[in-house]
Copies of this chain bind each other. A is one copy, B any other.
Amino acid sequence: MDISNSDRAKVLIQALPYIQKYAGQTIVVKYGGNAMISPELKEAVMSDIVLMRLVGINVVLVHGGGPEISDMLKKINKESKFINGLRVTDQETIDIVQMVLAGKVNKSLTQLMENHGGKAIGLCGLDGRMIMAEKKITSEDLGYVGEIVEVNTKVITDATSQGYIPIIATVAGGYKGEVYNINADIAAAQIAAKLGALKLILMTDIRGLLKDKNDEKTLIPVVNVSEVPMLKKEGIISGGMIPKIDCCVEAVRQGVKRTHIIDGRIAHSILIEMFSDEGIGTMFY
């Protein structure tokens, strides 16, 4: 990248209207996929978020950690059974989920954020009863797979009001002291809604919503949530995209102004989304 200091200054100045627009607002970023694996992409995400905090944005980072959970289960020779894409979660499995998400992934991200100059605190749904869940009722027993019942954001806003970037692992507590594995996208959406966030950004491993899923040039940049049922009918929203987009729709319905599906494989995709008019990926409003 060979950019003169003068052009650098211009770039900063062109960011000004975006900074003015976002100052004091809350942005929830659901972190996941490749952006959580590649060390370079991880560094880029950390930098993006530290910068956003410094220019006055209350950023909240929510993450899952599926691959790390699978690795750990494999290590203890635990075979996983899936029903409709959901892992059957017995006591031993939920212990591993909690350990990996709240202990390994979460605290390592916290350390990394601190090392990039952010003031970070690693939380999970058990801190301050942040996320309370109940057993998900399905035809077959899934064990400790939960559905969110309550989101208490006080522990999050207590942290942001003191200047911290809260990093949140999505395990939830139950009313009898049990622990539940919950969907991280849904948790992020509900946290964003409860916080009155301006934006919810879901980092994925795709370019966004594509008309032709094999052609990135057919990206649909903007979708009104009212168009979603039609897009589903047309098969444009299908497969793994359905739950993600349902999250986006739900968050918008509950008051989040804009939700975004962005491509976490592109370095600094968050900043590009935040600080350019054209953005990146698909925006739902």
Work out how many copies of this chain go into the complex.
Answer: 6
- Chain B contacts of A122 at CB under 8 A? 102, 123-124, 126-127
Does A13 sit within 8 A of B, measured CB to CB? yes
Partner of A117, one of B20, B114, B179: B20
Does A85 sit within 8 A of B, measured CB to CB? no
- Chain B contacts of A280 at CB under 8 A? 5
Count class of interface residues, chain A: 35 or more
| Binary B-proximity of A255-284 (CB < 8 A = 1, otherwise 0) | 000000000001110011001101010000
Q: Which of A41-69 contact B (CB under 8 A)?
A: 44, 47-48, 50-51, 54-56
The interface stretch among A103-111, A195-203, A230-238, A246-254 is A103-111
Partner of A99, one of B5, B103, B112: B103
A3 with B9: in contact, given A56-B54, A122-B126 (CB under 8 Å)?
A: no
| Binary B-proximity of A1-33 (CB < 8 A = 1, otherwise 0) | 101011111111111110110010000000000
Does A36 sit within 8 A of B, measured CB to CB? no
Query: Is B171 a contact partner of A107 (Cβ separation < 8 A)?
Result: yes
Within the assembled complex, what's the spacing in Å between the Cα atoms of A271 and B177? 24
- The 8 A-B residue pairs whose C-beta atoms are closest, nearest first, are A103-B103, A9-B268, A99-B103, A9-B271, A11-B11, A111-B126, A102-B103, A99-B99
The residues of A with any CB-CB pair to B shorter than 8 Å are: 1, 3, 5-17, 19-20, 23, 44, 47-48, 50-51, 54-56, 72, 75-76, 95, 98-104, 106-108, 110-112, 114-115, 117, 119-124, 126-129, 155, 158, 162, 164, 171, 173, 177, 179, 266-268, 271-272, 275-276, 278, 280
